[in-house]
A and B are shown apart, each in its own frame.
Chain A
Amino acid sequence: MAIKTLELIRKRLAERPEEIAKARREGQKVVGWQGYNIPEEIIYALGLIPVRIGVGGDDRLVEIGARYISTKNCVFVRETVGLFAENKDPYIQNTDFLAFDATCLQTYRTAEILEYYFNKEVIILGVPRNFYWPEAKVYFTKEVEYFTKRLEEQTGTKLDNQVLADTIALYDRIREAIVTIYQYQAATANYLSWEETYDLIHAGYYLDRREYLSLLEQVLSELREKQGQPVIEVTEDEARIFISGSVIPPGDKKLISIINEVGGRIVGDDLWSGLIPYLEVKIPENSLQGLAVGYLNRTPHGALPYLDLDTDQRIKRLKELIKTFKAQGVIYHTLRYCDPYTFKAKETKDILQKVGIPLLEIHTEYAGSDFEAIRTRVEAFVEMIRNKHYEEVAV
């Protein structure tokens, strides 16, 4: 039986654009944000409505965006620009100003383009690339403070310490709920698929965060009732796939649907549009400094280079998650011109090969022209995993 709360979430998502428009008419401001290291808690604590912007999968918008940014940028940023150029998406129409971070240079460039061509007020959060240095934490803390000051100037409101503390607590609970739900989706007898979980995460980009937490907790309650404690085991007929690599934003269903069609079961991911932003977020104190340190200490985004392979937390996390979700193979999704992840494809394949995990790189865009070619490759990969499993059982 399906999880009933999912229906409610879909209904609330359908109502949300008008709700936001109404809130704006009543004087509330909406911040459209994009990036990996923006502490959304600050936006929410200032009484602003945060909306995480950026969708995928629409080649028409990609083409429109490329008229302003270039065809040598990844389709995600091209589509983001296309959204603003077309200005028909209700979430885009209803942003008062934007907040972008400098984690990915292409995201940063997108912010510049939106500012230049569409007269958008964009607040940028600088992100250090030597993020593991103590000096980088000082720099990032100053950036977070400056970012907050700019937001305060926009709203005319000062950030209240108690409200910030309450908001951090709220977001901690959201993160905890998402991480727990991920366990359920990967379980042997699951009532929630990875695809539904992924949509659930994306619902949090738009819904009011207090309501979102309440909905997540309802989902969890239903799951507990149906499944009890999640047990993750590999069954004979499965090909358990883990997805890694470039962003797969709301709307980009190409690869996901292909994996499903050919009988693969996605059981986990380390995507920055998926689970990874919610893992191991430890805010050491309820302050801007605490937020800065907590965010910087998370699993780093692939766009932040790390020079020692043996101590790379991103690789370590990838291996851990594959193990936790008992994945049997990795589909490494790279968007064309997404250098942070594309440049790491071969390296990641070599690393996982050493621990017996096969990796298939799918390098793609949003156009449908490569659909069949991808299907053939994914199908072969899924078959290979299944055969490997049968061979192991036979032995």
Chain B
Amino acid sequence: MTVSGNVFRYPEAIKDRFLETEDIQFRDGSKASPADVWHYLTEIGPKKYPNVYDYSNYFGRKISGDVTLPFSLKHNYLIMTMNERMTKAKQNGVPVVFVQGGQSVDPYYAAGAIALRPASVGIWASGQHEGLNLNQEEVRRANQKEKAYRAISFEVCQSAGYENIQEGTVPVDMIAPFSCLRCSDVSYGLEAHRHGKRKDVKLFLADYPLDHQKDKEWAITYFAENIRRLIESIDELTGNKTTAEDLRREIKLHNEGRKLAMEIADLWWSAEVPPTNGKDRRDLFQMGGMELHGDPEASLSLLREAKGYIAERVKNGQKGFGVSDDPARIFVCGSCVFPNEYRIEEVGGIVVGNDNHWSDITTIVEEDGDPFYNLAKAILSYPYEQSIKERAQWTVEQIKRSRADGVLFLYNWGCNTQSAVARALVDEIKRESGLPTLIIEHEQRGTQTEQMQNRVNAFVEMLK
């Protein structure tokens, strides 16, 4: 790794070994060779997106610096090429669907669409602005967000890409989230698009039933109908007819990703020392959701390759870059936000797991039988969406598997539904696991980062 004046560069010393690694396979049949990736990361990227190469620890999305992990480099490549890849997909007639709700994205891809979560839509929008340093990029993002706050309400916890979609900067074809219990802003944020400027964006809500939903046949049947209608709505965009077999095939593909992520997590958690830093761990685990890169095949090819590297590091007792000796291990629960892993590592901690998104990744879908019913049943079974006690029980299992020393419950400012159960969940987790816990509200619009970090740091110090 080379760092000059807080600007990161990939070191030439790792090039030869990196070039021997696997290609990235894309859904459209194309590939990116390690040479392509290397060229992009070392030649194109620094010119197009200088902000990405900012190496301050205050920048939570900074490049990990663990340069001998090929998946980490390839992940950065996929993130930086989001705009180019989405533009290409759109030119090829592939519809892009905005999703939310922490769900698996199998049905969207089965119908031939690309499913993007808010963060990915934000990355796509950022990719359209070249040559900006970190400060310029942050100002641009904040300005964009302000438009959404004005159009919806200043109390939206996240504007969920509203500003980018309504401004037309990202040509999303459809907004089709799942309602579910995790977030109330999903439904109302979707509804807000009805008064927006863009009238060409299709709106659809997959209605997630609540309360012991996985044990009620009528709830599963109803949700299966929602999935069926969702696919039909995407079919209207593509002009194709998606079959049950298409969905079954997609479920199998996504199951492979989910299983790989779980196997990698077991390896990671079994290690004496953390084999990666917190940022690489989070990216890697989340790849199991097959939505991170807007291309499930690409995510899958990274996961397949990553497993071997993690296994090797675990076998050799190799520690991830930037991780301190005997770090305090923290499991993060709560909303769709996370702390700055680098800052936690600075003070001797490491984030070893999250409940958000991990809940859907750890739910394997039955492959035999009616795929609509199976998928509905699996989605309604996500532990994150269950009662306080049931969710806490699953979370405690993950905490124990990850050998966490403490639990941080983080919720976004304005997040009604996660904040509502924060104390109850934490009380239950504390009772079941005996671990210290801390509840923190994630700051509004980046204005209180240091206050939050101070509290997290104090928690880490206490654990150590």
Using CB atoms and an 8 Å cutoff, list the residues of chain A in contact with chain B. 67-74, 77, 102, 105-106, 108-110, 112-113, 115-117, 124, 126, 128-130, 133, 135-136, 138-139, 142-143, 146, 303, 305-309, 336-337, 339-340, 342-347, 350
Contact = CB atoms under 8 A, between A and B. Distances in A.
B188 A305 contact: yes
B216 A146 contact: yes
B222 A70 contact: no
Which applies to chain B's interface (DSSP): helix, strand, loop or mixed?
helix
A73 B419 CA distance: 8
B197 interface: no
Interface in B386-404: 387-389
Contacts of A347: 192, 194-195
Contacts of A143: 218
B176 to A, nearest CB: 10
Nearest to B189: A343
Contacts of A142: 216, 218
A305 B190 contact: yes
Interface in B374-394: 387-389
Contacts of A113: 420-421, 424
Contacts of B190: 305, 307
B415 to A, nearest CB: 6
Contact of A339 (B193, B387, B411, B416): B416
B422 A70 contact: yes
Nearest to B187: A305
A360 B277 CA distance: 51
B203 interface: yes
Contact of A112 (B208, B216, B387, B413): B387
Contact of B226 (A70, A105, A112, A130): A130
Interface string B194-234: 11000000011101111101001011011001100000000
A163 B98 CA distance: 49
Given A129-B187, A135-B225, A309 B194 contact: yes
A136 B222 contact: yes
B40 to A, nearest CB: 39
Contacts of B94: none
A124 B219 CA distance: 14
B152 interface: yes
Contact of B416 (A136, A139, A337): A337
A343 B203 contact: no
B184 A138 contact: no
Nearest to B155: A342
29 contacts: A67-B423, A70-B411, A72-B413, A72-B415, A72-B419, A74-B416, A105-B184, A105-B417, A106-B184, A109-B416, A109-B420, A126-B209, A126-B210, A126-B219, A128-B207, A129-B187, A130-B207, A135-B222, A138-B218, A337-B414, A339-B156, A339-B188, A339-B416, A342-B153, A344-B188, A345-B153, A346-B151, A346-B195, A350-B195
The 10 closest A-B pairs by CB, nearest first: A70-B419, A109-B420, A142-B218, A139-B222, A305-B191, A72-B419, A343-B188, A124-B211, A307-B203, A130-B207
B389 to A, nearest CB: 8
Given A105-B181, A112-B424, A126-B213, A307 B205 contact: yes
Given A130-B226, A350-B195, 8 more contacts: A72-B419, A72-B441, A73-B419, A108-B210, A129-B208, A136-B222, A309-B194, A343-B155
B83 interface: no
B210 A130 contact: no
Give the interface size bracket for B toward A: 35 or more
A307 B424 contact: no
Interface of B: 150-153, 155-156, 179, 181, 184-185, 187-195, 203-205, 207-211, 213, 216, 218-219, 221-222, 225-226, 387-389, 411, 413-417, 419-424, 428, 441
Nearest to A141: B218
A124 B151 CA distance: 34
Contact of B191 (A112, A136, A138, A343): A343
A73 B423 contact: no
B420 A69 contact: yes
B210 A124 contact: yes
Contacts of A146: 216
A13 B416 CA distance: 34
A43 B300 CA distance: 53
Given A102-B210, A307-B203, A68 B222 contact: no
Contacts of B181: 105, 108
A343 B414 contact: no
Contacts of B187: 129, 303, 305
B430 to A, nearest CB: 13
Contacts of A135: 222, 225
A339 B155 contact: yes
A337 B157 CA distance: 10
B114 to A, nearest CB: 21
Contacts of B192: 343, 347
A395 B415 CA distance: 50
Given A70-B422, A73-B416, A146-B216, A112 B388 contact: yes
A339 B208 CA distance: 18
A346 B152 CA distance: 7
Nearest to A71: B419
B205 A339 contact: no
A117 B185 contact: no
Contacts of B428: 116
Contacts of A102: 210-211
A116 B181 CA distance: 17
